[in-house]
Amino acid sequence: MYTITGRLQYYDNYCVCYVDDNLSAYYRSLLPKAYGVAPQKYRTHVTVVRKDIESVASQFKENFWKRYENALIPIYYNGTIQRGGSYFWLDAWSPQLNVIRQELGLHPYRFPFNSFHITIGNCK
């Protein structure tokens, strides 16, 4: 298990925790060139609240949205590259992100997952 620090950012209807782009670049470099893996479309991050998939009820949004804006969050990740369909990622965990999601009235992880993830690339 490894640790990286992310910076929490809230937007209108989603929230992400940005981590160093070198993390995804490094793990992407370990994949065989024949896979044709391209960088992800967005900066390297852990999605905390996913737009169009989850919504935060107004009473939680009023009281807790942007509460931790720009906070530095420790994130633990497994260095084993995962693959599903055309995506490659690292499983990630953060007790602090679990608390933030629960304050927003959400399950600690997006259903049906039991972790967060850091996308490192795709084959689109």
pTM of the shown model = 0.92
Which alpha helices (DSSP H) does the chain contain, by range?
A: 21-29, 58-64, 95-103
pLDDT band at 124 (very low <50, low <70, confident <90, very high): confident
SS3 call for 33: helix
Contacts of 49 (CB under 8 A, 6+ apart): 13, 14, 15, 56, 101, 104, 106
The domain containing residue 15 runs over which residues?
2-122
pLDDT band at 111 (very low <50, low <70, confident <90, very high): confident
Tens digits of per-residue pLDDT, 18-50? Answer: 999 999 999 999 999 999 999 999 999 999 999
The number of domains in the chain is: 1
